[in-house]
Amino acid sequence: MSVTSATSAKRGAYAKTPARKAQIVEAAASVFSTRGYNGGSLREIASQLDVGLTSLVHHFPSKTDLLEAVLVYADEKYIGEFDMIAHDSGMRAAVLDLVERNFGHPELLRLLAVLGTECSSPGYPGNQWFVDRYSRLREEYRARFEHDQAVGRIPARRDPAVLATMLIGLWDGVQLQWLIDPGVDMVATIGAFFDEIEASR
């Protein structure tokens, strides 16, 4: 069955495009988080939603288009109040608040972790998205740490760019340990990091 003829024959079925697109992205996030991007198939995503493959392909012509939508969806769950708390109360408060809220959706964290490692090879689908994501995160956190230094929360002699790379690494890595073994105490570990960088030494 050709995609084009199916599309024109059944256009009515695609009326509620934004809602359907959102459903597809959520189903894809669920499939990719358990099977990875490589292991997850468009067919499995379609069957989760009880729609045909043709409907899926109508909204997302390729698997990489769907990957990109899933990545944006997963990442946006992370932003929320973070910026506001970081500005008002500093990075320690913002990070620990987000860590607490994240406890409620490990599957989304696992999804970003699985896709981040799968896409880490240059030239792999999604690689550029992760290169840009981490580059943007490092710059955002650098600016936040610089602000914390300006208002006296963190001594100024530390390099805020190094603090940003350290925090992002520590957060990803301790979160992976926690995903593997929920007995790992993320709050205590990240709190101990802030104890270190807030000390005057």
Is residue 109 a contact partner of residue 179, using CB atoms and an 8 Å limit? yes
Alpha-carbon distances of 18 from 23, 59, 169, 173, 182, rounded to whole Å = 9, 9, 35, 35, 36
Residue 5 touching its own copies (CB under 8 A): no
Q: How far is the CB of 90 from its own copies (least distance, A)?
A: 18
Is residue 149 a contact partner of residue 156, using CB atoms and an 8 Å limit? yes
Site string for its own copies, 143-172 (x = CB under 8 A): ---------------xx--x--xx-xxxxx
Sign of CA dihedral 193, 197, 200, 201: positive
- Which residues within the stretch 116-135 sit at the binding site for its own copies (CB under 8 A)? 116-121, 127, 130-131, 134-135
State which residue, 88 or 195, has the beta carbon closest to its own copies.
195
Half-sphere exposure of 150 (CA within 13 A, CB side): 8
Given the rule CB under 8 A, which residues bind its own copies?
Answer: 34-40, 110, 113-114, 116-121, 127, 130-131, 134-135, 158-159, 162, 165-166, 168-177, 179-181, 184-185, 188-189, 192-193, 196-197, 199-201
